[in-house]
Structure 1
């Protein structure tokens, strides 16, 4: 029998139901997502793209409560490497999401950096490497965001390294962590994105344990990933090829990741996020049921 991972709180997210946008005809209705995530055996959910779930706190509270669910985090997208000129626009978006996240009793805000390559069209929007000045804007901007979000909403920000953004590879993630204040900024380690970009999640947890504030659980198919890397395929088309796969068929092994996280001695959310946009509406639930069963077999 596996050891009980009693510090790990497992949940899932709209992403595992093929939801990437607030409104999209290819996505399942939000009511179906809530029904099915509860049916699959998860207690915790994320808000997903702002506007997918109801944004009225009273209504959303009622909808999640009657299904026995609780909210672990909201998600925001930022382009803070562009400097102070984008602060007001960024804060308008962050404030909306943070207010709803706070109202739902959650404590975390997942912050995703902006893409340098369009995940739908594959258009190159910016160079994949930041200049020294842009790195300074990014790190100082994230520290400011962490401070403001905590002061105004009582939330902790966790920055999500993500494929096709400027915080992706081991080198970039370590540079970001070494350049930011742990009191203000910590990490949402997404095991799939980190593996997609060549990183080792267990090593990161063991090296930067005090900076791991949140987990997203997913795996990549190594064979599809090899083709994606060889062909320079952008993230969106890579997802459509099935690069993010159902556990436990891909990498990294999630058991050792969860055990390393348990050893940190702090309570951590571990939210399943199997990127599947777009997908057939009947596909997510059976996968979610099997994934929950697999995670229980790991002790979570």
Structure 2
């Protein structure tokens, strides 16, 4: 059993395909390699080059490989959004597979604007929308495997409909294990009040991927008290550098190891926006910390 540690554009303050506040993609690739990582995620589609030949050459020059691509979906809206969803997901999946990766991280769409906090729809799904979410995710997972050879790992995320212990368990009980695996993001699950170790114990067979992240409990308390949306919470520093926050990562890595399967463990420290010189020192320290944990 192997845990393969990597990082992601998110840890360099990258949330969008193109944004003047973000570091250029070449600098991200240089620095993630310099920090000691050999695996990365693609991040938002279009941030890194989308031509497989060019991207492959840029990665090879730096000794990097891709663990997964990432997409957002709003499948709870039902069949009306399927074609547009697949059009985008298919592009990301094709690039992901061309990079010899085997996973696609799927994040549900936000129910409130991550920047302004405006509620764009109810925060809890009704029976019809939940049924759409389940059937859509099952369909997407099967199609990704059949057409691209990818394992879909669904990412519980703050300010989405798959967030708390209750909602994650409800989702996992309802979906097809052959189509839907879980990307456990330790920080987002803690942000939403979940117990990571309890989730691993209860649904270990569904976990196919890890995002390693911590939250600052003092900032998190302010976030909940003030009902801040995710974007302002990140700007306030709710996601912090390990090992300064919660949950403790060594017990989670031990529990993940006990599952007896190969897993990627990708570091994600949400920092959008951030000064361009901030990510690299944090990335170096985080890699050393994880090495001290045996990862």
TM-score range, shorter chain: over 0.9
1:149 correspondence with 2:144: yes
1:49 correspondence with 2:44: yes
Q: CA deviation at 1:7?
A: 1.5
Question: What's the counterpart of residue 258 of structure 2?
Answer: 263
SS in 1 for 2:201: helix
SS in 2 for 1:37: helix
Q: Equivalents in 2 of 1:238, 1:287: separation in Å?
A: 19
User: Of 16, 21, 31, which residue of structure 2 is paired with 1:21?
Assistant: 16
Question: What's the counterpart of residue 70 of structure 2?
Answer: 75
Q: Equivalents in 2 of 1:296, 1:10: separation in Å?
A: 9
1:274 correspondence with 2:285: no
Q: How does 1:29-48 map to 2 (within 5 A)?
A: 29-48=24-43
1:61 correspondence with 2:56: yes
User: Of 188, 200, 217, which residue of structure 2 is paired with 1:193?
Assistant: 188
Q: Which runs of 4+ in 1 moved over 3 A?
A: none
1:107 correspondence with 2:102: yes
1:254 correspondence with 2:249: yes
Q: CA deviation at 1:118?
A: 0.4
1:8 correspondence with 2:3: yes
Question: What's the counterpart of residue 198 of structure 2?
Answer: 203
Q: Equivalents in 2 of 1:244, 1:222: separation in Å?
A: 9
Q: Equivalents in 2 of 1:200, 1:44: separation in Å?
A: 27
Question: What's the counterpart of residue 289 of structure 1?
Answer: 284
Q: TM-score, normalised by structure 1?
A: 0.98
Q: Equivalents in 1 of 2:118, 2:87: separation in Å?
A: 26
Q: How does 1:112-151 map to 2 (within 5 A)?
A: 112-151=107-146
